[in-house]
Each structure stands twice: as structure tokens, then as C-alpha cells.
Amino acid sequence: MIADINLFGMFIDVALATALLAAVVLGVLHRLLAAAGGYRWIWHPPLFNLALFAVLWLALASAAAQFQYSLGHLLG
């Protein structure tokens, strides 16, 4: 089953929605790390940002899949 989100009649894939949410969270974390001076300790900031995006996307996609499974099991 392909998971979609119905947003006012327009179907959006869950992978796209979780990727966009991961990008927003990455933007917030990037600003916090830059303000705190955390990038001084990172050898390659763009590579770190890519890896952080991948981890965030995986976490959000796993949470969405677990939510979908729980909701489907609950409804029957």
C-alpha cells in the first residue's frame, strides 16, 4: 500500500512530506549550531549537514510508518 496524505484534495506522498519536515528541522538545527559555534568542531560542514538530514529523514519516516501501522491496526 502506498501511503499518501490528503491535503485539501491533493494527495502528497508521505516520503515527500517527511523529507520536507526533515529539511525544516535541519534548517533550525543548522542555525542553532552556527549560533553556538558548533561548526568549528566539524571537519566538513556540508557533509555533516547531509548526514544529519539523512538521519532526521530516517527518524521521521520511521515514526510515520509506525503511526500508520498503529492507526491501521486500531481501525482494523
Domain count, the chain: 1
> Which residue in 20, 38, 41, 18 sits closest to 30, CA to CA?
38
Q: What is the pLDDT of residue 14?
A: 87
- Residue among 26, 6, 5 at smallest CA distance from 14: 5
For 22, the domain range is 4-75
pLDDT on residue 76: 57
For residues 48 and 42, is the Cβ–Cβ distance under 8 A?
yes
CB distance 18 to 24 below 8 Å: no
For the segment 6-28, what is each residue's pLDDT rounded down to a tens digit? 778 888 888 999 999 999 999 99
